[in-house]
Amino acid sequence: MNRLIDRARHFPTPDPQPTVAYTPIRLAMPDRTGLELRLTVPVAGDALPIVLLSHGFGPSNYIPSKDGYAPLSQFWAERGMAVIQPTHASSRVAGLAPDHPGAPFFWRERVAEMRAILDHLIEVERQAPAVADRLDHRRIAVVGHSFGGHTCSLLLGARLLGEDLSDPRIGAGVLLTSPGRGGKDLTPENALRFPFFDLDFGSIRTPTLVVCGAEDDPHFTPRGPEWHADAFHDAPGADALLTIAGVGHGLGGIAGWDAKETETESPEALETTRRLTLAWLRRHFRIGADDWSQGRLALRGAAAGMGAIVEKAADIRPQKIDG
DSSP string, 118-134: HHTHHHHHHTSGGGTT-
Q: What pLDDT is recorded for position 162?
A: 96
The answer to whether residue 107 is domain-embedded is: yes
Does a structural domain hold residue 2? Answer: no
Range 167-175 average pLDDT:
98
Nearest one of 142, 251, 143, 147 to 193, comparing CA atoms:
147
Q: Is residue 323 predicted with pLDDT exceeding 80? A: no
Distance of alpha carbon 96 from alpha carbon 75, whole angstroms: 29
Question: For residues 25 and 121, what is the distance between their CA atoms, to the nearest angstrom?
Answer: 11
CA distances from 318 to 110, 131, 168 (A): 31, 40, 26
In whole angstroms, give the CA distance from residue 300 to residue 307.
10
Cα separation, 143 vs 120, in Å, equals: 19
Whether residue 1 lies inside any domain: the answer is no
Is the pLDDT at 313 greater than 90? The verdict is: no
pTM of the model: 0.95
Q: Model confidence at 263, in pLDDT bands (50, 70, 90)?
A: confident
Kindly state whether residue 28 falls inside one of the protein's structural domains. Answer: yes
- Is the pLDDT score of 15 beyond 50? yes
pLDDT at 222 over 90: yes
Q: pLDDT-derived band of residue 25, with 50, 70 and 90 as boundaries? A: very high
How far apart (Å, rounded) are the C-alpha atoms in residues 115 and 135? 17
Question: Cα(190)–Cα(4) distance, rounded to whole angstroms?
Answer: 38
Which whole number is the average pLDDT over 25-52? 96
**Strands (E) located in the chain:** 19-27, 35-42, 48-54, 82-86, 135-145, 159-160, 163-164, 172-176, 199-200, 208-213, 238-244, 307-312, 318-320
pLDDT at position 215, please? 97
Residue 26 belongs to some domain of the structure: yes
Residue 245 domain-assigned (yes or no): yes
- Burial tier of 46 (Cβ tally within 10 Å: 0-12, 13-18, 19+): exposed
Write the pLDDT tens digit of every residue in 79-126. 999 999 999 999 999 999 999 999 999 999 999 999 999 999 999 999
Domain assignment present for residue 161? The answer is yes
Q: Is residue 241 part of a domain?
A: yes
- pLDDT above 70: residue 197: yes
- Mean pLDDT (whole number) for 1-26: 96
User: Looking at the predicted structure, is the pLDDT value of residue 187 above 80?
Assistant: yes
Query: CATH no. for residue 272?
Result: 3.40.50.1820
Instruction: State the virtual CA torsion across 90, 94, 100, 106 in degrees, nearest 10.
Output: -20
User: What confidence score (pLDDT) does residue 56 get?
Assistant: 95
Based on the structure, what is the number of domains in the chain?
Answer: 1
CB 242 within 8 A of CB 277: yes
Q: What are phi and psi of 308, to 5 degrees?
A: -150, 150
| Residues 40, 78 contacting (CB under 8 angstroms) | no
Query: Kind of pairing, strands 135-145 and 82-86?
Result: unpaired
The predicted pLDDT at position 152 comes to 98
- Which pLDDT belongs to residue 203? 98
Q: Nearest Cα to 245, choosing from 278, 279, 213?
A: 213
What range does the domain containing 212 cover?
Answer: 7-320
Render pLDDT for 127-154 as a digit per residue (tens, 0 to 9).
999 999 999 999 999 999 999 999 999 9
Q: For 182, phi and psi rounded to 5 degrees? A: -95, -150
pLDDT band, very low/low/confident/very high, at 321 (cuts 50, 70, 90): very low
**For 233-247, how does the pLDDT look when each residue is reduced to its tens digit (9 = 90+)?**
999 999 999 999 999
pLDDT value, residue 264: 84
Q: In the structure, what pLDDT confidence band is assigned to residue 1 with cuts at 50, 70 and 90?
A: confident
Helix (H, G, I), strand (E, B) or coil at 80: coil
What pLDDT score does 317 carry?
A: 44
Residues in Cβ contact with 108 at an 8 Å cutoff, skipping those fewer than 6 apart = 102, 165
pLDDT at 59: 85
Would you place residue 259 in the very low, low, confident or very high pLDDT band (cuts 50, 70, 90)?
A: confident
